[in-house]
Amino acid sequence: MGRFKFKLQTLRRLRQLHRDEQRGRLAQAYEAERILMQQQADVAAEQQSIVEAQRVLVQAPAVDVNQLLTATRYRMALDAQARALAEQAERVGEEVERRRQAVLQAEREVRVLDKLEERQRRLHAAAAAAAEAKRLDEVAVNRWEAPRL
């Protein structure tokens, strides 16, 4: 009996490449999510800073209305930016989940072929063992019958 050859090896290789591509896309989505979280943290820190600056301006003996208005406008701009980043984070989170599901599906497709190969490999080994046993039985029968002739 010949060596074992998995006939679906090319398909499995294609599915592995697809899985690896999906993993790369997921890694990109995770990186975008990380960058977005960093931007949100930066905006939050800037918001905290402007609140402190407004507090100092209000507590000063002579209140500079123009500086206070500028700080308020900047704070409103930061609030708008924070809302936009939150919406973007939600969309990125959804995309991360879609890509994660795609990776899981690709993993399942590869595992199915891996299991099929393993099952075929076991069947081939069993068939080879049976063929070898049959050959050895024939040799034994021939040796046993040879002296009788």
> How much is the pLDDT for 146?
67
Under DSSP, is residue 4 helix (H, G, I), strand (E, B) or coil?
A: coil
Is the distance from CB of 43 to CB of 106 less than 8 angstroms?
A: no
Q: What is the pLDDT of residues 120-149, one digit of tens each?
A: 999 999 999 999 999 988 888 888 776 665
Taking 70 as the pLDDT cut, the residues of the chain under it are 146-149
Give the domains, in start order, of the chain with CATH numbers: 9-115 (1.10.287)
71 touches 50 (CB < 8 A)? yes
| DSSP assignment letter at 60 | S
